Each structure stands twice: as structure tokens, then as C-alpha cells.
Amino acid sequence: MPKSALAVGRFKRHPVPDRDIRMVKLRQKVSGCQCTLTGVRQFCAIRSYLATAAKHGVHFFDALVRLAEGRPWMPAAA
């Protein structure tokens, strides 16, 4: 496969940063808009927390349960 075909193929698959933004855009499309800046910040904070947990192999439900119990999941120090 030529290099140019591989480069085009990469853009068709959504890289990780694009996937993280897609949910925000979808929510904006469905609800029409985010009502307040506070709501947008809260949504992004929760979404970022769950995306980071998923990248470390932690299931989103387990991360949310721990968060609700007051012992949030944190990635291991590098």
C-alpha cells in the first residue's frame, strides 16, 4: 500500500483527540447548545476523567462508583 493511501486512511479513522471531542459536539448537536459555561466545564471534566480512566484500562462504571464513594481513581505516577 502506498504511503499516501496510509496517510488518507489515518484521517478516516478518528484519532484519540478527535474521539474525545466528538461526544461534546454530538451533545451540542442533540441538545442545541450547552446551557451554561459551568455546565460545559462540568461535562468536560467528567468526560476527561472517564476518557483518562479508559485509556488506563479502568471501566467507566468502576471509575464513577469510586468517584461517588469519595475515593476517585487516579492514574499511577509516572
Summarised one tens digit per residue, pLDDT across range 23-56 is 666 666 656 555 677 777 887 888 889 989 999 9
Q: Decide: 38 and 44 in contact? Cβ < 8 Å.
A: no
Long-range contacts, stretch 45-51, CB < 8 angstroms, 24+ apart: 47/20, 47/23, 48/20, 51/20
What local confidence, expressed as pLDDT, does residue 53 receive? 93
What local confidence, expressed as pLDDT, does residue 40 receive? 75
Domain residue ranges in the chain:
3-68
Q: What is the pLDDT of residues 16-26, one digit of tens each?
A: 666 666 666 66
DSSP assigned state of 72 = -
Kindly list the distances between the CA atom of residue 22 and the CA atoms of 28, 39, 47, 63, in Å, as whole numbers in the listed order.
Answer: 10, 17, 11, 21
Q: What is the pTM of this model?
A: 0.59
Confidence of residue 13 (pLDDT cuts 50, 70, 90): low
Q: Decide: 75 and 57 in contact? Cβ < 8 Å.
A: no
